[in-house]
Amino acid sequence: IPEIEYGWKISLRDCFLHQEEDSEEEPKLKYERLSNGMTEILQNDAASCMTVHDKVEVMIHHPQGHFRVRFTHLAQTFHISSVKINQISLDESGEHVGICSEDGKVQVFGLYTREGFHENFDCPIKVSFSLLLYERNWLNRWKTSVLHEGEGTITNIKWRANLIAWANNVGVKIYDISTKQRITNVLRDNVSLRPDMYPCSLCWKDNTTLIVGWGSSIKICVVKERNPTEMRDLPSRYVEIVSAFETEFFICGLAPLADQLVTLFFVKENSDQMDEELCARPRLDIIQPLPESCEEISSDALTVRNFQDNECRDYRLEHSEGESLFYIISPKDIVVAKERDQDDHIDWLVQKKKYEEALMAAEISFKNIKRHDVQKIGMEYINHLVNTRDYDSAARKCQKVLGKNMELWENEVYRFKTIGQLKAISQYLPRGDLRLRPAIYEMILHEFLKTDYEGFATLIREWPGDLYNNMAIVQAVTDHLKRDPTNSTLLTTLAELYTYDQRYDRALEIYLRLRHKDVYQLIHKHNLFSSIEDKIVLLMDFDKEKAVDMLLDNEDKISIDKVVEELADRPELLHVYLHKLFKRDHHKGQKYHERQIGLYAEYDRPNLLPFLRDSTHCPLEKALEICQQRNFVEETVFLLSRMGNCRRALQMIMEELADVDKAIEFAKDQDDAELWDDLISYSIDKPPFITGLLNNIGTHVDPILLIRRIKEGMEIPNLRDSLVKILHDYNLQILLREGCKKILVADSLSLLQKMHRTQMRGVRVDEENICESCHATILPSDMAKTFNVVVFHCRHMFHKECLPSSGTIPGLQFCNICSAKRRGPGSGILEMKK
């Protein structure tokens, strides 16, 4: 075999994974066939064994005694024997290799040193009847120990840490080197299968877990420490079978994958033409072991070369723990299986046309993917959506996929134009700091203008005015309006374009013509008050409330006189304006109050009386004349009372309104005895009026005056109830007076006691106080001498000799200062003597 070069090429064109193409379940593993010389070699010869290690990646033996070693940095070829090598094994460090061959030789030597061990046996080292352990003693000589013999041929051995496991015709044994004890014997389940045709597969998952596969049976054995109290003559360790189950096919190899198992199966299937069974494609399954069964995670049928001629013993499964690589070895083929990475996951999603998931996976793992590009996946997704005619989704994805690549954006816009779907992409075009050429936006606007006026108006509202050539679009809209001059959508859009172009006067004309709600916003935003002085009537006709509020808020820009002048021919609008002006300020429009009387009388009588009450600038004679002409009784009554003609006002209430309650209310407001007398005189011959007076007069006029004037024999409705009410009101007044008297007496007594306590308190006199008469210090400089000081309750102080003699009442003196103002309770004397 010629020396191989550094590295193997992988033949991705070889399709050896047999799966249903429409399967919706993603494979867990991916497969590669070793190439670069291996294919030619295995066409003429066959591989007999193989092993792998983290440091030494692959070792393959050819039946004629050559094997290859590929290190991480070099590749070498060794020639060991001219006969078939049956097994190759590496130690844990990957520095020593052991081989056995058909000629009975066992060799162990270093891959980096010349050190080695050689031993010859009488029989081919393929099967053996005894298990021998070679150890160096202190003299550097080899010491041989027989670990087991006498139970038939030993077909498989696996050594990990201090534990050695081997399989013979009876079952699987485990030997502990540290204690030199055999600790278990796991019996073979199906003894009908020939061990040489269906060999036992052994695999250490870790230092204490052994996986055993034999025939169609799998057992997971865990070596555990025995409790010291239970040892007696038993080994210090024991084995517990934590999982045991049957499989559908025959096991060729096992390997751990986290808490799952990778299992290589030999499969036979029935022939359709003959009654015999044929060898089918081997299967590599990932299963989840359970205590008494297993759950299939994935299953792949592998199309290896010459699989029809292979038996169960021809397949092997080797694995590299550090990289999760699994090697499927057959005489004519070697396949490497490895866990799928994110690139493989994306490949599968794209293959299944699950572009949304593929794009999301690429975005999440963009730092880890090597073969894929997020944008390229996105472009594939967009192409797929376009091909399926989902144009809106394709356009929406452009925003996310194309990002800041303006060249790609323009290419996509032209593609959407070619397929007649510019509308779909229009709402997703970049319009921020990054922008396309103005021609792109103009092309889309022209497309909408031809077919969709509403869509065109929406784009004009949403797009900034500097995205495109405004004048070009204005001209296009104007051309369309020549064919349809009353189209409100186009007119509104044209007004917006004029606004973008700062031609506000034209925009305002269109808005007023259309009575558009944005006209007021346009005026405020761009301060167009000088342009609306001759358009006030139009604004009022459109929306009186908004127009008046705007005019009143901007009196400094459009004066009241100007507004009144413009509205002179529209009195109903003038009234609305002046009414709101009066509500805001009663004095601003005072010179128009006389005119407002007629406007209120004509258009808004309910607010006439409040206006007359609140206005101080309204000519009463003019108002009275208008109200009398229109027979406005309530307003006339108010004006008569305000002008002092209360008797005439009361007469109108009684005669024209015939409302005794209003008459009584009017008399109460005026609080005039003569009005009450007039009211009684007018009501004395009208029983219903007398009833009203009796019910309401008690608290303002003595009811006796009314009762005495009632004629004898007059029938008065509800007289009894009215008299009872008068008596009840009288009793209530008496009770109120008595209650007030009690409160007054209690308050007077309380205040008297408070004053007494206050006057009984001492008054501080010190050298800072002065005599209010002579203005000398009140206390003498020599305190040893006798002196007299008079202190009044008003806190004024005098020397006794400075006070005038007593008045008309002997022994009683008053403060000269307070007496000059008034004689009160604070002026009594408080004499201090020493």
Mean local confidence (pLDDT), 143-156: 84
Mean local confidence (pLDDT), 212-233: 87
Q: Is the pLDDT assigned to residue 620 strictly greater than 60?
A: yes
Mean local confidence (pLDDT), 530-547: 81
Q: Are 575 and 603 in contact (CB under 8 A)?
A: yes
pLDDT band at 474 (very low <50, low <70, confident <90, very high): confident
pLDDT recorded at residue 263: 94
Cα–Cα distance for residue pair 378/375, rounded to 1 Å: 5
Q: Are 220 and 209 in contact (CB under 8 A)?
A: yes
Element (H, E) at 431: none
**Averaged pLDDT score across all residues of the chain:** 80
Helix axis angle, 504-514 relative to 488-500, nearest 10°? 160
Residue 608: partners with Cβ closer than 8 Å, 6 or more residues away: 597, 600, 601, 632, 635
Per-residue pLDDT tens digits for 60-78: 555 555 555 554 444 566 6
Q: Which amino acid is at 646?
A: C
Q: Is the pLDDT assigned to residue 698 strictly greater than 60?
A: no
- Partners of residue 157 on adjacent β-strands: 166
pLDDT recorded at residue 623: 86
- Residue 248 token pair: 């559908």
Phi-psi region of 140 (alpha: psi -120 to 50; beta: other; left: phi over 0): left
Cα–Cα distance for residue pair 834/827, rounded to 1 Å: 22
Sheet holding 333-339, edge to edge: 29-33, 333-339, 325-330, 316-320
For 209-213, 595-599, 677-681, 790-794, which range has the lowest pLDDT when averaged over its residues?
677-681
Helix axis angle, 438-451 relative to 406-418, nearest 10°? 20
End-to-end distance of the chain based on CA atoms, in angstroms?
144
Q: Is the pLDDT assigned to residue 668 strictly greater than 80?
A: no
Mean local confidence (pLDDT), 402-407: 86
Q: Are 64 and 45 in contact (CB under 8 A)?
A: yes
Per-residue pLDDT tens digits for 108-133: 877 777 666 666 654 555 556 788 88
Per-residue pLDDT tens digits for 717-741: 766 777 777 777 777 878 888 899 9
Strands 85-90, 75-79: pairing is unpaired
- Residue 736 token pair: 């109120």
Q: Is the pLDDT assigned to residue 13 strictly greater than 60?
A: no
pLDDT recorded at residue 1: 26
Cα–Cα distance for residue pair 209/161, rounded to 1 Å: 11
Per-residue pLDDT tens digits for 210-221: 999 998 999 999
Q: Considering the chain, what percentage of its residues have pLDDT values greater than 70?
A: 82
Is the full-model pTM beyond 0.75? no
Cα–Cα distance for residue pair 456/516, rounded to 1 Å: 18
Closest CA relative to residue 459, chosen from 448, 470, 469, 451: 448
Q: Are 129 and 117 in contact (CB under 8 A)?
A: no
pLDDT recorded at residue 382: 86
- Residue 625 token pair: 């004349």
Cα–Cα distance for residue pair 674/430, rounded to 1 Å: 87
pLDDT recorded at residue 434: 82
Closest CA relative to residue 581, chosen from 609, 608, 551, 605: 551
- Partners of residue 269 on adjacent β-strands: 278
Cα–Cα distance for residue pair 54/58, rounded to 1 Å: 9
Question: In the 3-class helix/strand/coil scheme, how is 554-584 assigned residue by residue?
Answer: CCCCCCHHHHHHHCCCCHHHHHHHHHHHHHH
φ, ψ for residue 59, nearest 5 deg: -130, 125
Per-residue pLDDT tens digits for 799-832: 888 887 665 566 677 787 887 766 544 445 545 5
pLDDT recorded at residue 290: 92
